[in-house]
Amino acid sequence: MTDEQEVDEQEVTDGGLGERERALLAVERRSWPGPGAKERAVRERLGLSPTRYYQLLNALLDDPRALAHDPVTVNRLRRVREEKQGRR
């Protein structure tokens, strides 16, 4: 198998998402022990400010590749987002 074939197979397996997008969803899949733990992990592991993290995550929720990669997490986050928008 060539490197190119391996990359193509990985994209199909991963839903075509990049490493950063998969990492964003992985952070959301976890449960966090207390306030600030998630934001600290976002800064340390992803090198992003919490504001930028949530901007990227919000955009990712509208990406069909994210839904294909992790439908449970994406659908949960979409519901939360819709509830917040409904309260405004």
d(CA 76, CA 74): 5
Per DSSP, the three-state class of 16 is: coil
pLDDT of 29: 94
pLDDT of 1: 45
Query: Is pLDDT above 80 for 24?
Result: yes
Given pLDDT bands bounded at 50, 70 and 90, which one contains residue 71? very high
70 closest CA partner among 9, 23, 10: 23
Which conformational region is residue 4 in: left (phi greater than 0), alpha (psi within -120 to 50 degrees), or beta? alpha
72 CB neighbour count, 10 Å cutoff: 8
pLDDT of 15: 56
Q: Residue 61: in which H helix or E strand, if any?
A: none
pTM, full prediction: 0.77
pLDDT of 4: 44
Q: Which range, of 10-14, 50-54, 71-75, averages the lowest pLDDT?
A: 10-14
